[in-house]
Amino acid sequence: MVHNQVWDVKSVDETSIVLTYLSKDGEMGYPGNLSVEVTYQLSADNEVQIDYKATTDESTPVNLTNHAFFNLKGEGNGTINDHLLTINADKFTAVDSTLIPLGKNVSVEGTPFDFRKAKTIGADLPLQDENEQLKNGLGYDHNFALNKTEGGEMSWAVTVVEPESGRKMGIFTEEPSIQFYGGNFMSGADTGKYGKAFDFREAFALETQHFPDSSNQPEFPSIILNPGETYSITSIYRFSTTEFHDKFN
């Protein structure tokens, strides 16, 4: 996987870095020489913008994302279940007991997966023993199909608030979906930048992406990149302690 590789630094300045990687034909079983470029850029508005680009010389599946872990209290500073989460999605992707998508997006209405209005991450986790999808994911580890008015437009996806400090993170993306992982498999074995361990549900991930397992799910949009095409997509993570505004609407 490309996240386990050493990338080349194409350019760097005070506010941005551009990384490149060539995934050679046959690596991890994927066809084609895939040239990938990722740009991380900090803005004056406390935003981290991530631009992904890729080209290939053979048809190959591509679905790039960012798997950073977050705790708005600070690294290793306790549970994330009290964070307030809002996800702009009417549907989520159901999975089987091995977390493989079942090939359909189902309504969040009346389920623990309804985050259309802000609620704490842990509000419905007590239902894990009776809700099949929470049971399959050992909590939240699911893809959400974002509400989009047009395909590919930049739009608001998620807001997360840590209520005690007032810290907020907003996510905007051109992607059609986002994977929400609630730290269900964390055991203290992993440590962060400052050496603090991540214990059970002490960090979350929100990964903007195309629908997972699309190559095996005929009802999902294709993630095949062909020669002559350019994979190009952008996501933005915005941080603040002030009133949240959706500047794209």
- Say if residues 39 and 50 touch (Cβ distance below 8 Å): yes
CA angle 21, 27, 28 (to 5 degrees): 115
Q: Is 3 a catalytic residue?
A: no
DSSP-assigned letter for residue 191: B
In 3D, which of 239, 80, 245, 246 has the Cα closest to residue 164? 80
In sequence order, what DSSP letters do the residues of 76-144 get, joined into one string? T-S-STTSEEEE-EEEEEEE-TTS-EEEEEEE-TTSTT--SS-EETTTTGGGTTT-HHHHHHTS-EEEE
Active-site residue (options: 37, 175, 207, 210): 207
In contact, 234 and 49? CB cutoff 8 Å: yes
245 is catalytic: no
21 in Cβ contact with 196 (< 8 Å): no
Q: Which of the residues 3, 67, 132, 229 is marked catalytic?
A: 67
Question: So which residues are the catalytic ones?
Answer: 67, 207
